[in-house]
A and B are shown apart, each in its own frame.
Chain A
Amino acid sequence: MKKGGIWLTLSVVVLAVAVICSFGYFRDNINLGLDLQGGAEVVLQAVPEEGQTVSADDMEALKEIMRNRVDNIGVSEPIIQLEGDDRIIVQLAGVDNPDEAIDILGRTAKLEFVDPYGNVILTGADLEDAKGVRNPNPSSPREENVISLHFNDAGTKAFADATSKFFKQQIAIYLDGELLMAPEVDSVITNGQAQISGGYTLEEAIAEAAVLKGGALPVDVEVMSKRTVGPSLGADSLQKSLYAGMVGMALLLVFIIAYYRLPGVVAALSLVAYTIVMLFLMCWLHITLTLPGIAGVLLSIGMAVDANIIIYERLREELAADKSLAAAVTAAFRRALWTILDSNITTLLATVVLFQFGTGSVQGFAVTLAVGIVVSMFSALVVTRYLLKWCAQVPAFAAHTALFGAKKGGVVRG
């Protein structure tokens, strides 16, 4: 019966090595939510103009534009996803200045008219309207269809100045810093009504006009909800909840070892295994750890403890019924199996629903809890089971069933 002792020692060593080796890996690989590392989340709602409908293509285009803007901000791993038919969620974790980022995402594109020396003449704000129209009296085929621009008062004045100053030169039009077109000025325009010709078809003229008018967005967007967390608050929350978690875990381990003695130590080992597997799965499945997520982890630790407790209470009963240690361990697991499965599956059902109907942080919590429950069943039904079996095979332990919670030091039988 020395086999159990060898396996036991081996598993403790493996666990210890795993803890030491995995520490750095988890620190570098776990995805922290924006509430823990600072960042921004914004829900943008497409707002069609009267008569306009928002198509799936529009939303895809919008998503691309958002991706470009995010790239310009320089965020490493943005999450940009469509929600429903007309919403986009953008999450930027770890961005240094979250409020500015949201500002950039939510605004309409920056349209600038620039003179040949690179000075801004006027911006999109001065442009009241842009339309693609058929030119009633074209002087050449190139002028059949034009983009007709209409400026406000300030724009009219600035444009009049510019067109007289840069007559027969090019005025460049930039959108978000990207050159759209550079029409040549062929007359001084003082009435605020300009026309750009370029051999467009009518469709092209209308499309270009739409880009000028709405910024680059195919449809207007409105910030429906936003959430920004400064990096310092995120770090503070992370530190506090980690501290709370560690104190809680320490108390819990003391409690369970004091109460259940040797099996309590086994439970503690199995909880360490649980924690490692859980963290590994979170890295592997790219589950983002959020504040409610930490609570989810803690609760699933509670479930893991519960499974252990169910088994040990059974073990005590079996030992009280004067069974041999090995038989008692086997019986305890057999009887606890369906109790643990039934109780955990009902909880799992709740997390599935939570995931389906929750949003954002609630979903993160549900995923964490669900994975946690599955891992906790594994830790109790596999890790605890084998460790306990091996313990029962060590003569020094088996000789003292009181270590396992028997009322009086029993005699080893069978």
Chain B
Amino acid sequence: MAKTNFDFLGRRKIWYAISLVIIIAGLLSLAFRGLNLGIDFTGGNIMQLKFEQTVTADALRETVSQYVEATPSIQASDENTFLIRTEDMAEEDSAALLDDIETNLSPFEILRNERIGPVIGRELITNAWLALVLALILMLIYITIRFRFNFAVSAIVPLMHDALVMLGLFSILQFEVDSTFVAAILTILGYSINSTIVIFDRIRENRELHPKQDFDSLVNDSINQTLGRSINTSVAVLLLVVCLVLFGGDTTRAFSVALAIGIISGAYSSVFIAGSILNDITRLRGGEKFAKPAKGGKNGKKDPKLIV
């Protein structure tokens, strides 16, 4: 990567604005349309049936409706294959329904048959929140130990950014959110913080090498110096994930789309948001106090560390 000298910090209001527009659009959609929650969260049944004879969605809906109160969702997937989503049905009812479909419509092969009780869904939501909060706290602690508190807080902001972008876009696109979406969000948090840490690591190092340099220009230099890594890693990971979106099949599509959105958002937030936030927070808190470089000079130390 050729040496770049792009003024990231100087234009930070533009980056903040871009992020805010996307996040606010997502929040509005979340407020008014909500998420398309899958049965993992709401409880319910999903059956995927491959029929031997031609069956119409309408005929299928009519049969299924006799067994449930809420309107079932019937969705054609492959040739003569339908995905049936219903509210939670007792085992006897779903068995009776399958018998009914077989005798009155067509024999079929069961590709998938899932039932999640409502209790499990509630537990999943609770656990997802717990996981999220705990992961953030652990990261805060680790980054505070390895860097400083300012860095930790500034690293968490882009993570919230990414989580909100993913949630918002999934609400706008109305893609189904299931338990793997929770996994996708947490993975992206891991990936995004990875990128942010690489940049912060460079800031930490540069601060040691050039203690007299202005903090803004130092942050800006660090972002530029790590830009090659930021872009190339994102391209590399995106290549994998895009292939998963394109060729991975229906079962993993929502999951891989979530990852793709998250990777783009994560790369953006690390490069454009994290450094700027760090600079702003540091200014608000009255500037960084860094130790003078230890004796031994710039090549003498293996692990540059900031002193609180």
Contact = CB atoms under 8 A, between A and B. Distances in A.
Interface of A: 35, 43, 45, 98-99, 103, 106, 223-230, 232-233, 236-237, 240-241, 243-245, 247-249, 251-252, 255-256, 259, 291-292, 294-296, 298-299, 301-303, 305-306, 309-310, 313, 316-317, 331, 334-335, 337-339, 342-354, 356-362, 365-366, 369
Nearest to B1: A313
Interface centre among A313, A359, A369 (most CB of B within 10 A): A313
A361 to B, nearest CB: 7
A233 B194 contact: no
Given A232-B109, A236-B249, A252-B239, A302 B190 contact: no
A357 B138 CA distance: 14
A237 B303 contact: no
B209 to A, nearest CB: 11
B249 A358 contact: no
A344 B142 CA distance: 12
B45 to A, nearest CB: 9
Given A35-B251, A356-B131, 4 more contacts: A223-B117, A251-B239, A309-B229, A316-B228
Nearest to A230: B111
A237 B128 contact: no
Contacts of B225: 317
B101 interface: no
Contact of A347 (B182, B193, B241): B193
Interface in B268-308: 299, 302-303
Contacts of B128: 357
A226 B115 contact: yes
A241 B237 CA distance: 16
Interface in B195-243: 195, 197-198, 201-202, 205, 225-226, 228-229, 232-233, 235-237, 239-243
B198 A310 contact: yes
B243 A362 contact: no
Contacts of B134: 353, 356-357
A406 to B, nearest CB: 13
A303 B187 CA distance: 11
**Range class of the B interface residue count:** 35 or more
8 contacts: A45-B119, A232-B109, A295-B244, A301-B240, A302-B236, A313-B1, A347-B193, A353-B135
Contact of A338 (B191, B194, B246, B303): B303
Interface stretch (B29-37, B65-73, B252-260): B252-260
Given A226-B115, A362-B179, A103 B95 contact: yes
B130 A357 contact: yes
Contacts of A299: 187, 191, 237, 240, 259
Given A233-B48, A309-B229, A347 B191 contact: yes
A298 B244 contact: yes
Interface in B51-80: none
B277 to A, nearest CB: 17
B19 to A, nearest CB: 22
Q: Is the interface of B mostly helix, strand, loop or mixed?
A: helix
B198 A343 contact: yes
Given A241-B252, A295-B252, A313-B1, A99 B247 contact: no
A354 B191 contact: no
Given A230-B109, A291-B251, A302-B237, A244 B246 contact: yes
A225 B115 contact: yes
Interface centre among B48, B131, B135, B248 (most CB of A within 10 A): B248
B220 to A, nearest CB: 17
Interface centre among A225, A227, A232, A292 (most CB of B within 10 A): A225
A255 B236 CA distance: 8
A301 B191 CA distance: 12
Contact of A248 (B127, B205, B244, B249): B244
Contacts of B180: 292, 361-362, 365
Contacts of A351: 186, 190
Given A99-B113, A309-B233, A361-B179, A244 B248 contact: yes
A309 B114 CA distance: 42
Contact of B135 (A230, A338, A349): A349
A337 B302 CA distance: 9
B268 to A, nearest CB: 17
Nearest to B135: A353
A292 B255 contact: yes
B160 interface: no
A374 B202 CA distance: 23
B111 to A, nearest CB: 4
A224 B44 CA distance: 11
Contacts of B142: 345-346, 349
A344 B110 CA distance: 42
Contact of A240 (B114, B139, B247): B247
Given A226-B115, A343-B201, A248 B243 contact: yes
A302 B138 contact: no
Contacts of B256: 295
Contacts of B115: 223, 225-227
Contacts of B232: 259, 309, 313
A302 B240 contact: yes
A350 B228 contact: no
A43 B111 contact: no
Nearest to A290: B180
B49 to A, nearest CB: 10
A303 B239 contact: no
